[in-house]
Amino acid sequence: MTHTDALPTADAPRAPAVSAADDARNWTRILNRYREPSGARSLIELAITLLPLAALWLATWAALHFVGYWLALLIAVPAAGFLVRLFMIQHDCGHGAFFPHKPTNDWIGRGIGVLTMTPYDFWRRTHSMHHATSGNLDRRGMGDIDTLTVREYLSRSIWGRLQYRLYRHPLVMFGFGPAYLFLLQHRLPVGLMRGAGWLPWISTMATNAAMALIAAVLIWFIGLQAFLLVHLPIILIAASLGVWLFYVQHQFEETSWHDDTNWDLHDAALHGSSHYDLPVVLRWFTANIGIHHVHHLCSRIPYYRLPRVLRDHPELAGIGRLTLMQSLACVRLTLWDEDRKRLVSFRELERARV
């Protein structure tokens, strides 16, 4: 949205300035009209995601059994893509955005959580904290990728700096980290009892039990080795893709961070989240989650309505825009520079200190 009007004359009163936060709040009011989901469209979206995923899972096993593991690994890649898309449906359910009624969202989300290995109520709680605190330097730590400021990093011991460097290394961030997150960390909702009560624990234990039951049935039919060779690559590829998407949605050079005094929820949503402008096929597999600044401004918009927002309001498309090639450079951004108000790399910090 632009605010360019005719220039005032010398005698005309000057219009009050519109702050970035006010502008972001105006966008939130405009975007509310896109919130209403279509139950029929959502069922179709669920079907065209879940059914191909099941077919590709079976095709991966068939390739392993009749052809060879190389073909099974190739088929695992699109299967992982459909699993990522299924997770995005769970994500919309968690925001109450996928179906018109909350109980439908919640129970479909819990069912999908068994397949994505992500306990629905546990994840929904942490993700809502992420939306409520994104871009706030004084409220980091829940549902975020850990990001230190330059001063915090320099105040650490040598061992503390090494730990942070290891955590931010691409092999850990997008390899070991996602595997740990989905295979182990999601099995126990540690740290949520005080604020959320028993629901995250019940959800997690029920998800674990359902996962164990499905795994036991599949192992009984195809054997433990075949199950692991088929399922683990799909899960691990999808986990890495999911963490990458979450990373570039907030870890980009033009992102916005403020201390609690200067932080505004709507401004942080608009300017602290990227527009990850992916090729059409990848946009479909990721369920338009790349239109993340719009999603943060109004999380109740179903993902299949997000492209309509950009068509109706093309001025939003350029805010925080990242192409696929540009996003690769985001990997090096590791520290928030309080003075320059942007993310910097370890190398930039070292050069500045010479």
Q: Tell me: the pLDDT tens digits for 196-245?
A: 667 778 889 999 999 999 999 999 999 999 999 999 999 999 999 999 99
For the chain, helix, strand, coil in percent to 5 are 65, 5, 30
Q: Residue 5 — very low, low, confident or very high, per pLDDT cuts 50/70/90?
A: very low
E strand spans, 123-231: 148-149
How far apart CA 335 and CA 333 sit, in angstroms, is 6
Q: Tell me: the pLDDT tens digits for 164-201?
A: 999 999 999 999 999 998 998 888 877 655 556 677 78
How far apart CA 242 and CA 182 sit, in angstroms, is 10
- Which helix (H) or strand (E) covers residue 119, if one does? none
Q: Tell me: the pLDDT tens digits for 24-70?
A: 778 888 899 999 999 999 999 999 999 999 999 999 999 999 999 99
Q: What is the pLDDT of residue 21?
A: 53
Cα 337 to chain centroid, rounded = 23
> Which tokens sit at 66?
């009749």
In angstroms and rounded to an integer, the radius of gyration of the C-alpha atoms of the chain is 22
Q: Tell me: the pLDDT tens digits for 320-340?
A: 999 999 999 999 999 999 999
Q: What is the pLDDT of residue 289?
A: 96
Q: What is the pLDDT of residue 192?
A: 55
How does 221-242 read in b/e, with b if 16+ C-beta sit within 10 Å?
Answer: ebeeebbebbbebbbbbbbbbb
Q: What is the pLDDT of residue 93?
A: 97
